[in-house]
Amino acid sequence: MNINVGKEIRMSDFIDSKDRHSLLLDLTTASSTGASSGLEDIAGTLQRVNTLFDGIIVNPGQLEHHAQLLGGKLRAAPLVRVDWTNAYRDKDFCLPASSVSRVLLSGGEDALHLGATAAVATLLLGFGEDLESENIESISLLARECYRLSLPLIVDIRPIGEKVTQDNYAGSIKLGTSFMMEAGADALIIPESDLETIRVIGSWSTVPVLVRLDTLPSPERADELFAAGMSGVVLSEKIIGVVENGEKIHILKQVIHR
């Protein structure tokens, strides 16, 4: 008997059980940096795009207020980001971060009560050992909670700290992947990288891995990522402000699930 049958069912809501592929959208950056173009009206945005994706990553408050626009057979599954960070604020931001922090906004039980299909947590790399160790401990404890609840946990790997350089960028992604597989993540999101790094991660990862992209990939690029062992694509909120992307996203979803 599979004691995680509930988790498998929830995973299939955003990673297709037949082709094992997925197309996700992340709308959570606005909680740290403010609404960007296309996100001023979150309800209108969800109404416009919720049938174009297999899942949409939202903040707890977004799901609480707009649950009727997510989930079900025809709409994207709701995935809840359970943490917040100011790490995305640069020196030009109106309230630049004097020090980087990460805090939990929710937990596995709260995400489940909100109707989430999965919890999403952030792993920040390159900001020093103290933040990194606290981050890993927090995610490990969350993984244990989600396991008991049969709730999938997706970890979003972000090597964006000052200690990450062009020389160690790929290594940082591999290290984060290893950390989070050991911590108990059920799926991973990695940033875009060179194809060799993606192939390496795709070949030894024991959980589904999705690639975060700020621009729409061509069908050829999508096929390349899947051939390298990736399970899907996560599009950032940057694609939402481009009106003509709607039809392109529809085509991309067809390519991913053809």
Residue pLDDT tens, the chain, 258 long: 456 788 999 999 999 989 999 999 999 987 676 666 667 788 888 998 999 999 999 999 999 999 999 988 889 999 999 999 988 877 777 776 778 889 999 999 999 999 999 999 999 999 989 999 999 999 999 999 999 999 999 999 999 999 999 999 999 999 999 999 999 999 999 999 999 999 999 999 999 999 999 999 999 999 999 999 999 999 998 887 665 678 889 999 999 998
Determine how many CB atoms are found less than 10 A away from the CB of residue 240.
Answer: 20
β-pairing verdict for 55-58 and 102-104 = unpaired
Name all domains of the chain by residue range, CATH numbers in brackets: 5-256 (3.20.20.70)
131-136 — which CB contacts under 8 Å span 24+ positions? 131/100, 131/101, 131/102, 134/102, 135/102, 136/179, 136/183
CB 52 within 8 A of CB 250: yes
Which of 218, 189, 239 has the alpha carbon at shortest distance from 22?
189
Torsions phi, psi for 170 (to 5 deg): -65, -40
Q: Can you tell me the distance from the alpha carbon of 254 to that of 157, in angstroms, rounded to the nearest whole number?
A: 27
Residue-level pLDDT at 70: 92
Q: Can you tell me the distance from the alpha carbon of 67 to that of 30, in angstroms, rounded to the nearest whole number?
A: 18
* 3-class secondary structure, 230: coil
Residue-level pLDDT at 1: 44
Q: Where are the alpha helices (DSSP H) in 205-244?
A: 219-227
Residue-level pLDDT at 99: 84
Residue-level pLDDT at 36: 66
Which residues pair with residue 78 across a beta bridge?
Answer: 56
Q: Can you tell me the distance from the alpha carbon of 235 to that of 80, in angstroms, rounded to the nearest whole number?
A: 15
